[in-house]
Structure 1
Amino acid sequence: MASAVAQPLSRRVHFDAADFRVVEVDLAHDRLELHWRDAQGQPLASIDGLRHWGDGQGRELLFATNAGIYDRQFRPLGLYVEEGVALRPLNTARGSAGAGNFSIQPNGVFYVDARNHAGVVATSDWRERRIEARLATQSGPMLVVDGAINPAFDEQSDSLKWRSGVCARAPQQVVFAVSEAPVTFHAFARLFRDELGCRDALYLDGTLSRIYTKADGYTGAAAVMVKPYAGMFAVFVDRRATE
């Protein structure tokens, strides 16, 4: 008989007239990972690709979501660290908001460090903090900064998009969320601050964002992938643990 395996907590949250899929990863029990390419250097490209890659290693995918914004070559647009190795450098370029969401300031970095503690820090503070990251992804904009909604967001905005984001509510408590319908940046930021209790939160991406859990399947915007992901968060379990 298969033994029970603890999985990241997945739930639907109704907030401010919208629904969101929220997944909590407890780093004390679950090992959060980042994956972009396989051993041959080929992009995994999709959550299905990630799951099949894990299957080939005897690992079952319990949770996954896309990690952040990519460039025209489908590479992470900013800092990207897997297992302590920086595969893409910190991006400190400052463009106008019209240049894309990554350029809305402040943008930031989500990380899990060598002590297995997670956090979100503004890009401008990253180098000064000297964080020894086990994994990290840079994206933008930050949704919540030290308990305040990003002042670049207009509460009256009519720009509605699917949105995904992440925060560390505590050093070993990571919270991911994706909207189940288009919402504004301001509404999404309020979800993280007022409903999920995050003092710092980072936007990951929009239109193509999805969350997968073994328990609930897919939630998010895209029914069909039209562009590849450049980096995905994942929690796996060794299949032997379920036998």
Structure 2
Amino acid sequence: MPFEPRLARRLLALLALLLAPAVATAEPDCRKMSQGADRFSVCTLRADRDEIRLWHSDADGRLYGGFTAIDSALKAEGKRLVFAMNGGMYHEDRSPVGLYLENGVQGGPLVTSDGPGNFGLLPNGVFCIGTRTASVIESRSFAANPPDCRYASQSGPMLVIDGDLHPRFLVNSDSRYIRNGVGVAEDGVTVHFVISDNRVNFHTFGRFFRDVLETPNALYFDGKVSRLFAPSLGRSDTGFPLGPIVGAAVPSDQM
């Protein structure tokens, strides 16, 4: 059997994952990055130690809608919010578009058919948070072999699919918005959450994940409504209520 460097790297990453302590960091690694003239805010977390979660509604069905409400709810758990952004597309009533799992409870079905809008621009995908792992998986591959996700949010389009940009992206597209999304490194634990600081098209946004962050798979969350909560960057964006929100929590006494 020939030696496979990629397989070896994955085995080493798995070994590191099994040996790593499950201790949450106080703050994610949030920083400003660039690609040419374009600027991005990037927050990097690790699924093997950080408590990455999705939020939509409380136990009584009341929509969180924003970062302040989630941070307030976390106080009852003795925790605080250290990072968050909108985490998937939603209908007018703020219900998720496509698959949505929150702590193992499904709030929306997986959609594998094409359709209107960015969500239906196939291939789209699912951001999956498992037990000390994370992944971005194309939706039809997800349907064929569903992974064990504790949290999941389907969105679209995919930005990067197995190292390639989405085939429908145009280099010179004039569709430019503030956009946000997520990419997972080849190790299956390093998760990069990105929001553009200036208006970019899909091609530019996808290239940032592929060429700068080197994520083999990345998923678009949304544009126009994109918002970030990152205290270390002095960001706590506000606006109208959001649907799904992804973020990270730590114990309140952890500084």
Q: TM-score, normalised by structure 1?
A: 0.90
Q: CA deviation at 1:70?
A: 0.3
Identify unmatched segments of 5+ residues in structure 1.
none
Which residue of 36, 49, 59 maps to 1:39?
59
Helix, strand or coil for the counterpart of 1:240? coil
Q: Which amino acid aligns with 2:93?
A: Q
Is 1:225 matched with 2:239? yes
Q: What is aligned with 1:140?
A: 156
- Residue number in structure 2 paired with 1:129: 145
The code of the aligned residue for 2:155 comes to S
Task: Tell me what 1:158 maps to.
Answer: 174
Q: Deviations over 1:9-30 (max 9, x none)?
A: 0000011211100000112221
Structure 2: how far apart are the matches of 1:71 and 1:93? 17
Residue 102 of structure 1 corresponds to: 119
**Tell me, what secondary structure is at the counterpart of 2:150?**
strand
Q: Which residue of 2 aligns with 1:64?
A: 84
- Quick check: 2:26–2:254 contact (8 Å CA) kept in 1? no
In 2, the alpha carbon distance for the partners of 1:117 and 1:71 equals 29
Contact 1:167–1:176 (8 Å) recurs in 2: yes
Aligned partners of 1:225, 1:13: CA distance in 2, in Å? 25
Alignment of 1:170-189 (within 5 A): 170-189=187-206
Task: State the shift of 1:224 in Å.
Answer: 4.3
**What letter corresponds to residue 85 of structure 1 in structure 2?**
V
Change (3 A) 1:224 1:62: closer
Report the counterpart of residue 234 of structure 1 in structure 2. Answer: 247
Q: CA deviation at 1:72?
A: 2.3
Secondary structure, counterpart of 2:254 in structure 1: helix
Equivalent-residue separation in structure 2 for 1:6 and 1:44 (angstroms): 23
Q: Distance in 2 between matches of 1:217 and 1:210?
A: 13
The alpha-carbon deviation at position 171 of structure 1 amounts to 1.0
CA distance in 2, matches of 1:72, 1:208: 13
Report the secondary structure of 1:52's partner residue: helix
Report Cα offsets for 1:167-208 as digits up to 9, x if no partner.
Answer: 111211111100011101000000000000111100001111
Partner of 1:91: 111
- Report the RMSD for the aligned CA atoms in angstroms: 1.6
CA contact (8 A) 1:61 1:214 kept: no
Shift of 1:57: 3.5
User: What letter corresponds to residue 225 of structure 1 in structure 2?
Assistant: G
User: 72, 77, 87: which is aligned to 1:52?
Assistant: 72
> Hey, what does 2:211 align to over in structure 1?
194
1:203 is matched with which residue: 188, 199, 220?
Answer: 220
Letter aligned with residue 26 of structure 2: A
CA distance in 2, matches of 1:112, 1:157: 32
Instruction: After TM superposition, give the deviation of residue 73 of structure 1 in Å.
Output: 2.0
Alignment-mate amino acid for residue 224 of structure 2: T
Q: Name the CA distance, whole Å, in 1 between partners of 2:156 and 2:219.
A: 6
What is the rounded CA distance, in whole Å, between the counterparts of 1:146 and 1:171 in structure 2? 13
3-state SS of paired residue (1:212): strand
Count, aligned residues: 231
**2:125 touches 2:139 (CA, 8 Å); kept in 1?**
yes
CA contact (8 A) 1:210 1:218 kept: no
TM-score (norm 2): 0.86
Q: Percent identity?
A: 35
The 8 Å contact of residues 65 and 232 in structure 1, kept in 2 or not, is answered as yes
* Partners of 2:227 and 2:238 within 8 A in 1: no
Measure, in 1, the Cα distance between the counterparts of 2:169 and 2:254. Answer: 45
| Cα deviation code 1:1-58 (max 9, x no counterpart) | xxxx631100000112111000001122211011111121100001122122223443
